[in-house]
Structure 1
Amino acid sequence: MKTLDELKYPIGLYVKPAELTNEILRQSIAEISAFPQRLRSEVEHLSEAQLNTAYRPGGWTIRQVVHHCADSHMNSLIRFKLALTEDKPTIKPYYEDRWAELADSKNMPIAPSLKMLEGIHERWTVLLNALTQEQLKRVFVHPEHGKEFSLEESIGSYAWHCNHHLAHITAAKESNGWK
């Protein structure tokens, strides 16, 4: 039986590499790029009952996880663009737990969010692949954490975010015996 922390963080917490090499950045961008298709292949065949199943006790449903990814990655693309066009912008945090309780996250089909993710990630990947070394060092300020985050470290954390939520879904499918 897995612990609650293992269910919450099936791939562990994000750990920033000691050195963000070009290879690590390329791999992270590839993971971000591939995420929409990887997610679609895991969820598009699930029934309504399966989509409405929580990935862990007290956790979001698979449906909410899919919609959360669209919400989160939409915000991330905006944060990247702000950092590229403004000097150390303070980003707007949002209450992801509250967003997950709204009607669009709890009740609507996942197809619109899967489409959003495809478009967001296609644009995001083009932007990420075009970043110069100087642009990778640009930062935004996250007021909840009270610190600056560079775009290069954010790339890694969002690649982790993709894999983190994908693991929630695959673990839920496995524990329920779903294909």
Structure 2
Amino acid sequence: MSLIPNLPKFECDAPISIGGLLEDVMSIEQFPNELAKTLQGINGDQLNLSYRQGAWTIKQIVHHLADSHMNAYIRCKHIITQDQEQIQPYDENAWANTADSNFHHEASYLILLGLHQKWSLLLLESLKDFERQLAKTIVHPETHKTLNLGNLIRLYAWHGSHHLAQIKFALESNQQ
């Protein structure tokens, strides 16, 4: 159970519709703007806040978002351009503790800004051939789940809002 009220879990098996996917692509496109609004005026001490004890700091979350969404963009590109392929997994906790995760969060924000512009164009173009793209799949070797492009779009639209809620909760719950 989450400490954050009304934080929905990702539902991988929910029905996929073109309308829902278009909303999710718009969410992906707008995510960097939402993140910028949330981080506006944040100071160095606040970057070290977390939404619960033992969780990643806000700074680590921002760096994680860049790492994760770069991987997601590549996964989407693989599914669009290649036949059945395995996802390359990575240890997100190890990545959150590498030297670059101590670098200023603005570098990761700038990555997200450019990446999400490219990503949303790629996804919108792929949805023109909705049925064919949804028929193509990739497999996660650790979870053994088979995912299609619709699953990935929904997952990463949710992923951004999920971590944005964690950042907002950390900032709100640590106000004096």
Task: Calculate percent identity across the aligned residue pairs.
Answer: 40
Q: Which of 22, 34, 46 is the aligned partner of 1:50?
A: 46
Report how far residue 55 of structure 1 moved. 2.1
- Partner of residue 175, structure 1: 173
Q: 1:92 and 2:78 equivalent?
A: no
Distance 2:47 2:6 in 1: 19
Q: CA deviation at 1:125?
A: 0.1
**Following the alignment from structure 2 to structure 1, what is the Cα–Cα distance between the partners of residues 114 and 106?**
13
Q: 8 Å contact 1:55–1:169 — kept in the other structure?
A: yes
Within the candidate set 66, 80, 83, 2:79 is matched to 83
- 1:96–1:9 CA distance, 2 compared to 1 (3 A): farther
**Taking structure 1 as reference, are residues 9 and 113 closer, same or farther at Cα in structure 2, changes over 3 Å only?**
farther
Q: CA RMSD in A?
A: 1.6
Partner of 1:124: 119
**Residues 137 and 152, structure 1, Cα contact 8 Å, conserved in 2:** no
Q: How far apart, in 2, do the equivalents of 1:85 and 1:77 lie?
A: 12
Q: 1:149 aligns with which of 147, 151, 170?
A: 147
Give how far 1:22 is off: 1.4
For the structure 1 residues 100 and 18, does the alpha-carbon distance in structure 2 shift closer, same or farther, using more than 3 Å as the test? closer
TM-score, structure 1 normalization: 0.91
Return the letter of the residue paired with 1:45: G
**Aligned 8 A contact 2:47 2:58 in 1:** yes
When normalised by structure 2's length, the TM-score is 0.92
Give yes or no for contact 2:4–2:169 (8 Å, CA) kept in 1: no
Q: 1:35 aligns with which of 31, 36, 48?
A: 31
Cα deviation, 1:11-51, whole Å, max 9, x if unaligned, reads 12101363211111111111111101100111142111100
- Aligned position for 1:113: 108
Q: Distance in 1 between matches of 2:109 and 2:173?
A: 24
1:120 is aligned with what amino acid?
A: L
Structure 2 match to 1:135: 133
Report how many aligned residue pairs link the two structures. Answer: 173
Alpha-carbon distance in 1 for matches of 2:89, 2:5: 21
The structural deviation recorded for 1:141 is 1.1
- The CA distance in 1 between the partners of 2:133 and 2:64, in whole Å, is 27
- Conservation of the 8 A alpha-carbon contact between 2:51 and 2:173: no
Deviates more, 1:11-20 or 1:92-101: 11-20
Identify the match of residue 9 of structure 2 among 9, 13, 16.
13
